[in-house]
Amino acid sequence: GVGLNDASPDEGVVEDLPLIDEKAVEQLAEGLISHYLPDLQRSKSALQELTQNQVVLLETLEQEISKFKECNSIVDINALFSEAKHYHNKLVNIRNEMMMLHEKTSKLKVSGINI
């Protein structure tokens, strides 16, 4: 014969489902929501604050980066000026040497020696 153990373990549960009180479910859901909602709202505002702080931080970083770029361009300009000064000095030296050579050749011509 068919024993009690042969029955499916889920057999009785399915029949119990319609007995669940919808009002009780609603109240449980509301209870859960009211329990977790404040934490979720706090988390949400904390995340919003964090996001705003990140935006401010990013803007600050961008400003700092642009300052560094300006500094680099100033360094480049300084290098250019020092290079220009260096070449100017070279030109002055060459001019002085040419003037000295010109004076020497002039003296030699005055002395009567043709070059």
pLDDT digits (tens, 9 = 90+) for 10-45: 555 555 556 778 888 899 989 988 988 999 999 999
Q: Which amino acid is at 34?
A: S
Average confidence score pLDDT of the chain: 83
Band the pLDDT of 108: cuts 50, 70, 90: confident
List all residues 6 or more positions away from 108 whose beta carbon is below 8 Å from its beta carbon.
115
Residue with tokens 């560094």: 68
pTM for the model: 0.41
Rounded-to-integer distance, Cα 101 and Cα 115, Å: 13
CB 80, CB 74: distance < 8 Å: no
List all residues 6 or more positions away from 3 whose beta carbon is below 8 Å from its beta carbon.
none
Q: Which amino acid is at 83?
A: E
- More confident position, 8 or 104: 104
